[in-house]
Amino acid sequence: MRMKRFALMFAVVAGFLALWSAPALAHNSLVESAPAKDARLAAAPAEVRLRFLSNLDKNASLKVTDATGASAIGAVTVSGKFMSAPFTGTAPGTYTVTYGLTSSDGHVVNSSYTFGVDAPPSPTTAPVVLPEETPTVTGLAAPPLEKKSMSWFPYIGGAAVAGLAVGGLLAFLKRRRLSR
């Protein structure tokens, strides 16, 4: 009987821990940025582009400022996991990228990083392209990005089932030992 209680307590604790850790797994975070954090560029980029772990909502924000605090980007575009804006900085120096977003669990993420430009922008600077992105042609509408949200429920369910299976196995082995 004591083994059954232990198995039941183990299953309850495992389930609780799996459910308790779920909100932390839902936080969105920056996966890739162009220009990268602390990068020193020989020429100004055509745009600032960020890619996140999960899809962004339309309330996500992006600011890029120069050393004086003046804005250095145009209109911000949010699409799927990407947030971008054309870079309009005109002077060499350090620029600060600041972004804010709300994760699917309601957790607010605010962060920033800097990059430097050693030369003024040139009119032939090509746009920055991150991997996993389909290039778009100016003037044509890009196809909508597929919305793939990362769901943690299968992992939580799997952990709960595994906890119950281990608890059941322990109870079975204990019962078998007692019947000998």
Which tens digits make up the pLDDT trace of 86-95? Answer: 999 989 999 9
Would you say the pTM of this structure is higher than 0.85? no
% residues pLDDT > 70 (the chain):
66
Q: Which residues of 38-64 are buried (b: 16+ CB within 10 A; e: fewer)?
A: eeebeebbbbbbbbbebbbeeebebbb
Which tens digits make up the pLDDT trace of 18-48? Answer: 555 444 456 889 999 999 999 999 999 999 9
Is pLDDT at 140 greater than 60 in this prediction? no
Centre a 10 Å sphere on the Cβ of residue 162 and count the other Cβ atoms it contains: 13
Q: What is the distance between the alpha carbons of residues 32 and 131, in angstroms, rounded to a whole number?
A: 9
* Dihedral of the alpha carbons of 162, 165, 170, 175, in degrees to the nearest 10: 170
Band the pLDDT of 172: cuts 50, 70, 90.
confident
